[in-house]
Amino acid sequence: MGANSTRLSPRQKMINLMYIVLTAMLALNVSSDVLDGFTQVHEGLKRSNSNFSTRNTAVYGQLETLAGRNPEKGQVWLSRATDVRLATERMLQYVDSLKYAIVRKADGADGNPDDIQNRDDLEAAAVIMLSGANPRGAQLRERVNEYCGYITTNIPDTLKRRTIVEALSTAPIARPGSLTPLKWEETKFDQQPVVAAVTLLSKLQSDILYAEGEALASLLSQVDAGDVRVNELNAYVMPQSRLVMRGGRYSANIVLAAVDTTQRPTVYIEGKKLDNSTGLYEISTGTTGTFNYKGWLEVPHGDGSVTRHDFASSYTVMEPMATVSATLMNVLYAGIDNPVSISVPGVATSDISASMTNGTLTRQGDHWVARPAAVGQNAVVSVTANMDGHAVPMASTTFRVRKLPDPSPFIAFKDAQGNPDHYKGGKPFAKALLMSSPGLEAAIDDGLLDTPFTVLSFETVFFDSSGNAMPEVSEGDKFSARQKAQFQRLSRGKRFFISRIKAKGPDGVTRDLSPMEVIIN
């Protein structure tokens, strides 16, 4: 703001400070519903990871049994499987150490990822993962890349290998509106609540365990001991997605390892036979949580006998989530266009719809523009997504609507290098620059809103040798001829005031601005 002729009172200074603190708190506000959703997903991931670990241990146990029965053919595969398990354990322990570091940054030395207190802390993850000379986020990316390169050498199947590479990809990610792709760690941990960062790390552990399971299964299938291998037939569930939004569909392929592809097994789930011969299991999801199911495969043999192989698996259904954030700050300003970013994880931008109360919300390419109507009345943004041909509600987010703050008046000029600059009073100003200036301007130029205003009128107040005030009225936003004549008579060190400044903003509201003092250099 321009300099005032009177000093601010301690009370006014405190009010200004409280406004700044409140604005910062609004910018850091995170919906409790979103935090609860992340907590539910994290709990589901923990159970899924436990199931994956149990399954992987069982496959490793089969390799130990095969190596014991036929050391000459089985020991080499057991040795490779042991290396896979050790590499996976090191990765899981490293990721666990990052979870504890983030939570303890937010909650203190006793912080526990399974009982996060400050779930909405937006700084802890970025400080731990993105700060310092050698950020841990970059270290994690390098270790994930190294692990992915190693684990895929144990998987000869190109399709499975490609699936693992995609699941563990740390390639830069391009966000809507960003000119250049962001580093993987920045998209995962910058401005993320603690609970979201921990959930993302648990999701990474899930992908690591999934990769380990595929590697162990591949090593098991390569053991050249047919009779032993046939005796160790097992059913496996291959989900296309291990996390499902409510309203979506869970899909999984149920297959039998080391079986002739011409011999399709009959699949039963919870006592009911699947209605297809490919082993594709699909079910609609209506409620959130982790769901277990079991069944068996019946495999026919050439002698007419049938063997049964049991299996069990689970899937996690998470609550729909949407991210709605105001580009300017966590408030909307009435009477102007407010850029808004809306996204739903896993849903294309074209499949997202949104509406707003107390104003209008319009799509502009991949972005949205919110224009609230009434000050003091909240604006609620509601988001839906098209999932499998159905419109599914994602989230509703409430924003406070405020009036545009007052602008700062200034005299526009160019510095010695020819760059545009603003003189806002309170310090010496060259008389030549003043004489070349056409008039007075006003704008919010804080680097955030950057909103121009139209100056309607103002007065300049000069003082004669006796101390008598001599006001002169402007011609709109331009200096009048009488004002210019007064400028010409001013000598170095003299000063005058510009007062009774009236300006109108894009919201149509006319405001009285604070006066500014001009000192002639």
CATH code 3.30.70.2500 for 321-402: no
Give the residue from 308, 287, 210 showing the smallest Cα distance to 252.
210
For residue 229, what pLDDT is reported? 36
Q: Is 346 exposed, middle or buried (0-12, 13-18, 19+ CB in 10 A)?
A: middle
Q: State how beta strands 289-300 and 332-333 pair.
A: unpaired
Give, to the nearest 10 degrees, the angle between helix 158-167 and helix 194-221. 160
In the block, tokens 């030395």 appear at: 109
Same fold, 233-319 and 321-402: yes
Give the residue from 374, 252, 239, 233 showing the smallest Cα distance to 307.
233
For residue 488, what pLDDT is reported? 92
Give the residue from 80, 83, 55, 84 showing the smallest Cα distance to 66.
80
How far apart CA 189 and CA 181 sit, in angstroms, is 15
Q: What tokens were used for 195?
A: 């609970």
Among the CATH numbers 1.25.40.10, 3.30.360.10, 2.60.40.680, 3.60.15.10, which is that of 233-319?
2.60.40.680
For residue 141, what pLDDT is reported? 92
Digit-by-digit pLDDT tens for the chain (521 residues) are 444 444 555 655 565 565 454 444 444 455 676 677 777 887 888 888 889 899 999 999 999 998 888 888 789 999 999 999 999 999 999 999 999 999 999 899 899 988 889 888 888 889 989 988 889 999 999 999 999 999 999 998 999 999 999 989 999 888 776 678 888 888 888 888 998 889 889 999 999 999 999 999 999 988 753 333 344 566 767 666 555 666 667 777 786 666 555 567 889 999 999 888 778 888 888 887 778 899 998 887 655 678 888 988 887 776 676 666 665 567 899 988 999 988 887 677 888 999 999 999 999 988 899 999 999 899 999 999 887 778 888 888 899 999 999 999 999 999 889 899 999 999 999 999 999 999 999 999 877 788 999 999 999 999 988 889 999 999 999 999 999 999 999 999 999 999 999 999 998 899 999 999 999 98
Domain boundaries, the chain: 31-232, 233-319, 321-402, 405-520
Give, to the nearest 10 degrees, the angle between helix 136-151 and helix 71-107. 160
Under a CB-based contact definition with an 8 Å cutoff, are residues 330 and 309 in contact? no
3-state SS, 251-309, equals EEEEEECCCCCCCCCEEEECCEECCCCCCEEEEECCCCEEEEEEEEEEEECCCCCEEEE
Q: What tokens were used for 21?
A: 């603190």
For residue 25, what pLDDT is reported? 44
C-alpha pair distances (Å), 299 with each of 120, 370, 521: 52, 60, 97
Q: What tokens were used for 427?
A: 């310090």
Q: What tokens were used for 420?
A: 């545009």
Under a CB-based contact definition with an 8 Å cutoff, are residues 325 and 340 in contact? yes
Give the residue from 229, 227, 258, 253 showing the smallest Cα distance to 241.
253
For residue 14, what pLDDT is reported? 61
For residue 1, what pLDDT is reported? 43
For residue 3, what pLDDT is reported? 45
Q: What tokens were used for 193?
A: 């609540």
Sheet holding 272-273, edge to edge: 243-245, 306-318, 289-300, 266-269, 272-273
Buried b (16+ CB within 10 A) or exposed e, 216-241: bbbbbeebebeebbeebebbbbbbee
For residue 299, what pLDDT is reported? 80
The DSSP secondary structure of 88-142, one letter per residue, reads HHHHHHHHHHHHHHHHHHHH-TT--TTS-S-TT-SSHHHHHHH-SSS-HHHHHHH
Under a CB-based contact definition with an 8 Å cutoff, are residues 311 and 296 in contact? yes
Q: What tokens were used for 47?
A: 């159970």
